[in-house]
Amino acid sequence: MGEMLDALNAPVPIRIAAHTLGWPFKWLGYKGDPSLPPLLSALNAMGPAYVKLGQILSTRPDVVGEDLAHQLKILQDRMPPFPRDVAIATIEKELDIKVDEVFSEFSEPVAAASIAQVHRARLRETGQEVAVKVLRPNIERNFRRDFDAFYLGATIIETLSPGSRRLRPRAVIEHFHGSVKGELDLRLESASASEYEASTKEDEGFWVPKMHWKLSDRRIMTLDWAEGPSCNELGRIDELGFDRKVLGERILGLFLRHALHNGFFHADMHQGNLKIGLNGDVIALDFGIMGRLDEYTRRVYAEIIYGFIKKDYRRVAEVHFEAGYVPAGRDVDEFASALRVVGEPIFGMSADDISMGRVLSYLFEVTERFGMETRMELIHLQRTMVVVEGVSRSLYPNINMWDVARPVVEDYIKQSIGPRALARDLTRTLRILSHFGPRLPKIAEDMLASQSSLNRNSPQEEPKANRWAWFGAGAILAAAVTWGVTQL
């Protein structure tokens, strides 16, 4: 653990807390897997939730260092597997089938991560190759134990450090706890995979394997087999002759497209969950953690990125205030200057010279200085953005995030902000009003009757109340007229 704390340049209080909280593991005798390096063995012994943390850090060698990131990549899909016989017993119990009758081939584990492992199999009936994902035994209990520790840690932090409360540690843990529950019920992951496949089927150079619903349940998930190297197998990608610059830009651009245009995106896009098909397509796997953004949040996020691309820091600051991300009463110009300190060095440096660790450290200082709280609706987006940019940089170290983002964001801005977007929004509003059309006269009558009753009880408020009553009735009348027009 000391190795990770050194890599992250953790402050003294964090180091003390880590060593203090580490004593229970020594007392319990969690030795970990001796076949793994010490750090990975420790994370594996602490539990699957800690392995998740290691997977995220593995995508950012610019934050934790090349050596540590290389070690942590083992956590993505090369964890110690559980026996094939246990997987077969689980499948037969969950699906009420005999594996030998359904599959003509069923391999040893080909990939093993913190929550599940994957077997390569062949359907006896059709000869099609499939991937069968099986949850680890007792994984629910292990995750429950980990999150109990996380909740305790968050409570201690909030109690001992009042300044941390703006970051809402317990709320963040609750958010991720809810996400992880989706990973522990493969029926939910199967639904996400199916929805993601439908929403991305028109994306050139991107593929999501199709589900096999009859061979999937709570602890089992079966989908088409995806052939090709993972994104962390750079040697194999080079052997196949693929342009890593093109692949890096495609992964980053597709993520932004899914987040902005679809509002539904893969929120766990580390290298182990991405393959490169033999035809050069990017293949997404593991759909346990997905992110959603409503249309308003997507527009805010697009304006922020676009403002950075255009170096319009004043507009970026204004968007933060308009969305309520910065508390009212703070100075917009001062916030714009703070954002300039973040943006300008990034634009002026090559990717190799940028220290994302330093950038993230300064961003944390900015949020503290301006009293910004953690936005729960953006957690998946912000976390995945850091991971995806790290994956893209691992493929092509000189990738320029802003150049890749520009066409995607500009296209979204044209569609969502401007006259066409306003007309589309008005059309949606009229469509919604049309559902209430037959009820509008009754709503107006009830409002006027309610205001009349209020006026009798408070005569001194009568003029003001009447104004509001007539305003409300007028609004409903306008809505009724609008509804009538839509029916013509």
The predicted-structure confidence for 141-169, as pLDDT tens digits, reads as follows 877 777 777 787 778 877 877 766 766 77
103-112 sheet: strands from edge to edge: 103-112, 116-123, 129-135, 220-224
Alpha helices for 201-239 (secondary structure H): 234-239
Distance in angstroms (rounded) separating the CA atoms of residues 294 and 375:
14
* Phi and psi torsions of 128, nearest 5°: -75, 140
Q: What is the dihedral of CA 53, 42, 232, 359, to 10 degrees?
A: 40
Tell me what pLDDT residue 28 has. 40
For the chain, give percent helix, strand, coil, nearest 5. 65, 10, 25
Alpha helices for 277-331 (secondary structure H): 295-309, 313-322
C-alpha 356: how far from its chain's center?
19
Distance in angstroms (rounded) separating the CA atoms of residues 392 and 10:
26
- pLDDT tier for residue 221 given thresholds of 50, 70 and 90: very high
Closest CA to 135 of 76, 193, 216, 67: 216
Single pTM value for the model = 0.70
Distance in angstroms (rounded) separating the CA atoms of residues 325 and 331:
13
> Residue 385 has which token pair?
């953005």
- pLDDT tier for residue 332 given thresholds of 50, 70 and 90: very high
Amino acid identity for residue 209 in this structure? P
Closest CA to 444 of 481, 470, 462: 470
Distance in angstroms (rounded) separating the CA atoms of residues 349 and 62:
14
Q: What is the dihedral of CA 124, 126, 131, 136, to 10 degrees?
A: -40
C-alpha count within 13 angstroms, C-beta hemisphere, residue 474: 6
Average pLDDT of every residue of the chain? 77
Tell me what pLDDT residue 280 has. 94
Query: Looking at 98-112, 378-392, 444-458, 466-480, which range is the least confident one?
Result: 466-480
- pLDDT tier for residue 357 given thresholds of 50, 70 and 90: low
**Mean pLDDT score, 353-368:** 61
Q: Which residue has the higher pLDDT, 150 or 318?
A: 318
- Those residues with Cβ within 8 angstroms of residue 240's Cβ, 6 or more apart along the chain or in another chain: 229, 276, 278
- pLDDT tier for residue 390 given thresholds of 50, 70 and 90: confident
Amino acid identity for residue 167 in this structure? L
Tell me what pLDDT residue 25 has. 44
**Mean pLDDT score, 461-474:** 50
Catalytic residue among 268, 294, 352, 403: 268
C-alpha count within 13 angstroms, C-beta hemisphere, residue 259: 31
Tell me what pLDDT residue 152 has. 78
Which residue's entry shows tokens 């990717």? 351
Tell me what pLDDT residue 276 has. 96
pLDDT in tens, 18-64: 554 454 444 344 455 555 555 556 666 655 556 656 665 655 554 55
- pLDDT tier for residue 123 given thresholds of 50, 70 and 90: very high
Q: Regarding beta strands 206-207 and 282-284, do their DSSP bridges make them parallel or antiparallel, or are they unpaired?
A: parallel
Query: Looking at 175-179, 213-217, 341-345, which range is the least confident one?
Result: 175-179
C-alpha count within 13 angstroms, C-beta hemisphere, residue 435: 4
Tell me what pLDDT residue 355 has. 54
Q: Which residue has the higher pLDDT, 401 or 282?
A: 282
Tell me what pLDDT residue 5 has. 52
Tell me what pLDDT residue 27 has. 39
% of the chain residues with pLDDT over 70 = 64
Distance in angstroms (rounded) separating the CA atoms of residues 197 and 266:
11
Residue 268 among the catalytic residues: yes
**Rg of the chain over CA atoms, in angstroms?**
27
Residue 296 burial by Cβ neighbours in a 10 Å radius (0-12, 13-18, 19+):
exposed
Distance in angstroms (rounded) separating the CA atoms of residues 33 and 49:
16
- Those residues with Cβ within 8 angstroms of residue 415's Cβ, 6 or more apart along the chain or in another chain: 261, 421
> Residue 115 has which token pair?
């929550």
Cβ neighbours, 10 Å, residue 120:
18
Query: Looking at 146-160, 181-195, 196-210, which range is the least confident one?
Result: 146-160
Tell me what pLDDT residue 228 has. 95
Residue 262 burial by Cβ neighbours in a 10 Å radius (0-12, 13-18, 19+):
middle
pLDDT in tens, 278-313: 999 999 999 988 889 888 888 888 888 888 888 899
Tell me what pLDDT residue 24 has. 44
